[in-house]
Structure 1
Amino acid sequence: MTPSIQPVSDMRDESPQRPSPPVAAGINDIEGFLLLQAELEAARREAERFTDRLEWLTTSQREDVARHYIGERRKVTQMMLTAVARRSGQPGGEYESRYAALRTRLRKVTALVACSAVLWCGCLTAWVTWAAGD
């Protein structure tokens, strides 16, 4: 008898648990570190390509230009990541308030439709009763 093979979707936990706040903060720190390191490595490669085109520079001049380029790129990257992190916290409140307003509106419309249906059924029943009485 061969074992049955389950699809991957059946084997996954459908309700993954969120990590605790300290674990989530640690994961965010690691992700930020790796992102910064990848950006610095890209800056190093770009600086090397740039200085390679400047054939008249001496080795120490090339290293100096590359160091300045990497330093400036690091500042720009940190400013960009700081701005993104700051903005990422802002929309949540706005979307939550919009969602709450839409949810309230939906509840009101649902209640209105339900009341209208009950009233319509009551009127129809009264009319049928009245018409049958004649």
Structure 2
Amino acid sequence: MSTEAAVNEIEGFLLWEAEKDRARTRADAFCAGLPWLTDSQRREVELRYRQDHGDVSRAYLQRIATRSTALRAEYEGVYRVLRRRLVTGFLMGTVAVVMLVTVAAVGLTAS
């Protein structure tokens, strides 16, 4: 595994752990607004809330990953087109300069 892949995996793990912690915090806050719950009911509601939050977060992250991949492909395509245009422009400019120098050299030798 490359260093970059390892760093990405660690970063992903840390981000997911933070998301799980955020779900726990939100579940606690949600249950705090339901003071009539028994302890077992509270645990059940918190568990279901965290699971739902995790499912929603996972789906959201998958949509982001899919969109990021699509954008990367799109931007790479645009970059290739721009690079091709730049190289073409540079070559055309070089050819124009060579032609001007050639014409000037022929004109000076013909005089």
What interval of TM-score do these two structures reach, taking the shorter chain for normalisation? 0.7 to 0.9
Return the offset for 1:42. Answer: 0.9
- Equivalent position amino acid for 1:45 in 2: T
2:84 matches 1:104: yes
In structure 1, which of residues 89, 93, 111 is the aligned counterpart of residue 69 of structure 2? Answer: 89
TM-score (norm 2): 0.79
Return the offset for 1:109. Answer: 0.9
- Equivalent position amino acid for 1:46 in 2: R
Return the offset for 1:24. Answer: 4.4
Between structure 1 and structure 2, the one with the greater Rg is: 1
Structure 1 residue ranges without an equivalent (≥5): 1-18
Return the offset for 1:34. Answer: 2.2
Distance change in 2, residues 1:116/1:24 (3 Å): closer
Show the counterpart of 1:58. 38
Distance change in 2, residues 1:99/1:44 (3 Å): same
In structure 2, which of residues 38, 42, 58 is the aligned counterpart of residue 78 of structure 1? Answer: 58
Partners of 1:114 and 1:24 lie apart in 2 by 40
Partners of 1:96 and 1:59 lie apart in 2 by 54
SS of residue matched to 2:8: helix
Partners of 2:88 and 2:6 lie apart in 1 by 43
In structure 1, which of residues 53, 69, 74 is the aligned counterpart of residue 49 of structure 2? Answer: 69
SS of residue matched to 1:55: coil
Show the counterpart of 2:12. 32
Return the offset for 1:91. Answer: 2.7
- Provide, for residues 24-48 of structure 1, a one-character-per-residue CA deviation record: whole Å limited to 9, x for no partner: 4444333322222211111111111
SS of residue matched to 1:56: coil
Structure 2 residue ranges without an equivalent (≥5): none
Q: Percent identity?
A: 35
- Equivalent position amino acid for 1:111 in 2: L
Superposed CA RMSD: 2.3
Return the offset for 1:116. Answer: 1.2
TM-score (norm 1): 0.67
2:99 matches 1:122: no
